[in-house]
């Protein structure tokens, strides 16, 4: 894949959906067929339609960050005493 996370943010074009100049179907086609990233906005809110490979790449980044966080938490938890399951259930009202 040629893109990186940093360039993904900058390689899209913006279309203002309040004027309805570009339909959602066309935006999806541009992403799916032509590899374009489309920023769709209405007022201050916006969404970005990206090609599937970009979505897969972003998901991989999220998974990598999640795994790093889990490893960090596991290291932290080994330094403390385990809490018995009975106490956890009681605290949660189960």
pTM of the model: 0.55
Question: What is the average pLDDT score of the chain?
Answer: 77
Higher pLDDT: 40 or 80? It is: 40
Per the structure, the count of domains in the chain is 1
Higher pLDDT: 4 or 57? It is: 57
The answer to whether 3 touches 11, Cβ cutoff 8 Å, is: yes
CB atoms within 10 A of CB 32: 13
Separation of first and last alpha carbons in the chain: 47
CATH assignment at residue 63: 3.40.1620.10
pLDDT of the residue at 81:
78
Mean per-residue pLDDT, 13-27? 61
Residue range of the domain that includes 27 = 5-92
| Cα Rg of the chain (Å, integer) | 21
Q: Helices H, strands E: what count in the chain? A: 4, 3
Q: What angle do CA 24, 60, 42 make, to 5 degrees?
A: 25
């Amino acid at each position: 894949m040629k893109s990186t996370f940093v360039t993904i943010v900058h390689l899209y074009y913006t279309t203002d959906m309040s004027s309805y100049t570009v339909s959602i179907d066309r935006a999806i086609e541009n992403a799916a067929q032509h590899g374009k990233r489309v920023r769709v906005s209405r007022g201050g809110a916006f969404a970005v339609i990206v090609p599937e490979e970009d979505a897969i790449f972003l998901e991989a980044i999220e998974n990598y960050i999640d795994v790093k966080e889990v490893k960090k938490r596991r290291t932290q938890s080994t330094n403390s005493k385990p809490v018995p399951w009975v106490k956890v259930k009681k605290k949660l009202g189960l």
